[in-house]
Amino acid sequence: MSPPSQNFDLERIWEKLANAIDAAGSGKEVLFLSKFAILASKELNDGQQVERLVDIALEDLT
Amino acid sequence: MAIGRSMYDDFPSYPFRRPPGLDGRPEQRPVVVVGAGPVGLTAAIGLARYGIPVVVLEPRDSVSFGSRAACISRRSLEIWNRFGAVQRPLAKGLPWTGGRSFWHGHQVLDFQMPHDEDQKYPPMVNLQQCFAEQYLVDALNECPEADIRWHSRLTAVKSTNDCVILSVETPDGVYDLEADWVVAADGARSFVREAVGLKLEGNSYEGRYLIADIKFSSEYPTERRAWFDPPSNPGSTVLMHRQPDDVWRIDYQLRDDEDSAIELQEERVRARVDAHLKMIGEAPDYELIWISLYKAHCLTLPHYRHGRILFAGDAAHLVPIFGVRGLNSGIDDAGNLVWKLAAVIQGWGGDGLLDSYSHERVFAARENIEQARKSTLFMTPPSRGFELMRQAALSLAVSNAFARALVNPRQTTAITFATSPIQTTEDESWESGPVVGATLPTFPIKMRRGHQLYDGHLIDLVGLDPTVVVAGGDEAVEMHLCKVASRDRLNVVILEQNDRADARPTVVVDHRHRARDLLGLDRPGAGYLIRPDGHVAARWRRFDPTRFDAIFALSLARGD
């Protein structure tokens, strides 16, 4: 993972995502998250990094 | 499934003509083409252009029925042009350059295929396959070298070292036909392929598409339209193409819970078409002409040469419909095979040319399959994951340009061969121009014939023989090339920026000065060796006569 930048507040992002999932509404959460995954991947602009993050997200889904 | 036969009543039925083989007169032919589909007919007409007698065997008594492969690519038009068979398909077909995709009422894509003022042909032309076949049949019937045998079904294939013996069933009985070479272009269920025990390799997708051709009048222009999950057909994808004579093709995806047999019933198709036309604001006043069911296959033979039998088109490979690589890759097969077979038969090329056909076209099939596979994953998502990612891409594409790349239908483009036994590797650095293995681009030129200058296109200069295209101004280079051309099958084209007083027939004028940008020809004597199928065999910035002679021999597989 990259070193945290000065103005990056993970807790704040965590809250923002939670509110966005609620705003997307019942049945649209997965679509929202899928869109977000594509947007975030595009923004990262690093294929290897994205693949690594995908693999991490797949862990411990129990 | 034919519904409105009346629409295509003008296509002739051909009578059975008794071949000599039925009267105890054995026949030995240099080439027999199995199958009078567009690929077999293209191969036959190409061979006839080389003056090679060719027999075409076809069980039917007329061209096939329905629109089938209705999109003809620029590359296919260029190949038909080379064989003198492009005029009628081009005159009848509807050219188009792009299209649109919609999702839930939003336009999510407006795409354009590569096209500019340098081109001779549009990127795509829509024409029902039966018209394309009929024009090729008419052209072949004018060739004294060609003999199309309708009502002729192959029942056995026996290969020997020297020939292939084909048993042909006709209304009057069975006869044997001996062929030096066989072009197996007998389609997806190829009898030749079965008879010699070869199997297609790869996989097939579960997604099914139903194709309905309807005739109705609309002012909408010729472009490809796609609707993802439209209100008229929820959960499905619908495609629409305009064809000549007010025929419109509507393709729609069947959902997994829908039964093919039920969905193929006329009233079911009508209900789907009615709903679609209503959605796009067209009156549901149409004639239903043809219905067909389609599944996506990604299959190829591992080799297209089996001794004296050469496989082409659907007999050799099956590619998903999306991106229109089926017919177009088959025509490309024919364009690649014809000159090689002609060179082997006429003795100006080595047998290795036929191995290179297999090498190059298997590579092309794999490239085509990979592109079409990606399109298929989008057009018929095989799982929840793909479905969700498609939805996400479509939703993003409404307002985010970057996501539209994911929605783009990846239409067919000419293939660049990464390797080939008959091409060199690049050893100089170039600023532009097609790499070795790519196809020659085109631009308008002026050609001198006698005292007159005529408008033409660079690709028109690539005919039946290998061609060198070289930047004028280096007399030693020109002298060497003309010396080779005087004793061999080589067509020399010298590109000049301006008309030249001593203009020989081979001098053409690059009056719009495109050769530097499009070919990277920045110095006198720099040039390309172009094969008769338009692929670049070699290119050089500094000409070396010894090296040229070697690459010319290599490009014709001589000395193997």
State the nearest Cα–Cα gap between B107 and chain A, in angstroms: 18
State the nearest Cα–Cα gap between B251 and chain A, in angstroms: 26
Task: Kindly state the average pLDDT of the residues B22-36.
Answer: 95
Higher pLDDT, B373 or A35: A35
Predicted confidence (pLDDT) per residue in B319-347, tens digit: 988 888 999 999 999 999 999 999 999 99
Mind giving me the DSSP string for B436-448? Answer: TTSBPP--EEEEE
The confidence score (pLDDT) of residue B47 equals: 98
Which of the four pLDDT bands, split at 50, 70 and 90, describes residue B256?
confident
C-beta separation of B538 from B424 below 8 A: yes
Predicted confidence (pLDDT) per residue in B522-537, tens digit: 999 999 999 999 999 9
State the nearest Cα–Cα gap between B479 and chain A, in angstroms: 53
Mean pLDDT of chain B: 93
Which of the four pLDDT bands, split at 50, 70 and 90, describes residue B503?
low
Cα–Cα distance between B117 and A18 in angstroms, integer?
53
The confidence score (pLDDT) of residue B206 equals: 76
Going by C-alpha positions, the residue among B404, B425, B515, B523 that lies closest to residue B474 is B523
Task: Kindly state the average pLDDT of the residues B507-530.
Answer: 93
Residue B66 has pLDDT above 90, yes or no: no
Going by C-alpha positions, the residue among B464, B414, B471 that lies closest to residue B438 is B414
State the nearest Cα–Cα gap between A46 and chain B, in angstroms: 15
The confidence score (pLDDT) of residue B388 equals: 95
Q: Do the Cβ atoms of B395 and A30 come within 8 Å? A: no
Predicted confidence (pLDDT) per residue in B146-189, tens digit: 999 999 999 999 999 999 999 999 999 999 999 999 999 999 99
**Residue B5 DSSP one-character state:** G
Residue A1 has pLDDT above 60, yes or no: no
Contacts of A35 in chain B (CB under 8 A): 392, 395-396
pLDDT over 90 percentage in chain A: 84
Radius of gyration for chain A, computed over Cα atoms and rounded to the nearest angstrom = 13
Place of tokens 């085509």: B368
On whether any CB of chain B is under 8 Å from the CB of A38, the answer is yes
Q: Which of B57-71, B358-372, B501-515 has the lowest mean pLDDT?
A: B501-515
User: Between A and B, how many residue pairs show a Cβ–Cβ distance under 8 A?
Assistant: 22
Q: Which residues does residue B211 pair with via DSSP β-bridges, in sequence order?
A: B251, B292
Which of the four pLDDT bands, split at 50, 70 and 90, describes residue B235?
confident
Interface ipTM = 0.89
Going by C-alpha positions, the residue among B455, B420, B428 that lies closest to residue B528 is B428
The confidence score (pLDDT) of residue A2 equals: 60
| Interface mutation target, options B400, B404, B406, chain A, most CBs of A under 10 Å | B400
Task: Kindly state the average pLDDT of the residues B33-50.
Answer: 98
On whether any CB of chain A is under 8 Å from the CB of B393, the answer is yes
The confidence score (pLDDT) of residue B5 equals: 56
Q: Do the Cβ atoms of A34 and B391 come within 8 Å? A: yes
| Interface mutation target, options A28, A29, A34, chain B, most CBs of B under 10 Å | A34
Scored b (16 or more CB within 10 A) or e, B22-51 reads eeeeeeebbbbbbbbbbbbbbbbbbbbbbe
Residue in A closest to B386 by C-alpha: A34
Neighbour-count burial of B201, counting CB atoms closer than 10 A to its CB (0-12 exposed, 13-18 middle, 19+ buried) = exposed
